[in-house]
Amino acid sequence: VGVKAPQEQRFLLISGSLRASSTNTAVLRTLAGVAPASVDCVLYGGLEDLPPFNPDADGPSLPPEVERLRAAIHGADAVVFSTPEYAGALPGSLKNLLDWTIGDDQVGSIYGKPVGWINPSDRGAAGAYGELRTVLRYAHAHVVDDACVHTPINSAMVGPDGLVDDQDLRSALAALVDALSAARTAA
Ligand SMILES: Cc1cc2nc3c(=O)[nH]c(=O)nc-3n(C[C@H](O)[C@H](O)[C@H](O)COP(=O)(O)O)c2cc1C
The strand pairing partners of 142, in sequence order, are 114
Q: Kindly give the distance from the C-alpha atom of residue 90 to the centroid of ligand 1, in angstroms, as a whole number.
A: 10
The strand pairing partners of 143, in sequence order, are 115
Does 82 sit in the ligand 1 pocket, CB within 6 Å?
Answer: no
- Looking at residue 2, its pLDDT comes to 67
Q: Kindly give the distance from the C-alpha atom of residue 25 to the centroid of ligand 1, in angstroms, as a whole number.
A: 13
Task: Give nearest CA residue, ligand 1 atom 29.
Answer: 86
Q: What is the mean pLDDT of residues 120-131?
A: 98
Neighbours of 152 (CB within 10 A): 15
Is 0.85 surpassed by the pTM of this model? yes
Residue 94 has pLDDT above 80, yes or no: yes
Q: Kindly give the distance from the C-alpha atom of residue 165 to the centroid of ligand 1, in angstroms, as a whole number.
A: 21
In the chain, what is the straight-line distance between the N-terminal and C-terminal CA atoms, in Å?
26
> 26-47: per-residue pLDDT in tens?
999 999 999 999 999 999 999 9
- Looking at residue 168, its pLDDT comes to 95
- Looking at residue 5, its pLDDT comes to 67
Q: What is the mean pLDDT of residues 66-85?
A: 98
Alpha-carbon distance 153 to 164, whole Å? 8
List the one residue out of 32, 26, 30, 37 whose CA is nearest residue 12. 32
- Looking at residue 112, its pLDDT comes to 96
- Looking at residue 187, its pLDDT comes to 54
Task: Give nearest CA residue, ligand 1 atom 24.
Answer: 22
- Looking at residue 184, its pLDDT comes to 77
Does 24 sit in the ligand 1 pocket, CB within 6 Å?
Answer: yes
Alpha-carbon distance 153 to 70, whole Å? 31
Give 38-56 as a DSSP string.
TEEEEE---GGGPPPP-GG
The DSSP output letter for 16 is: S
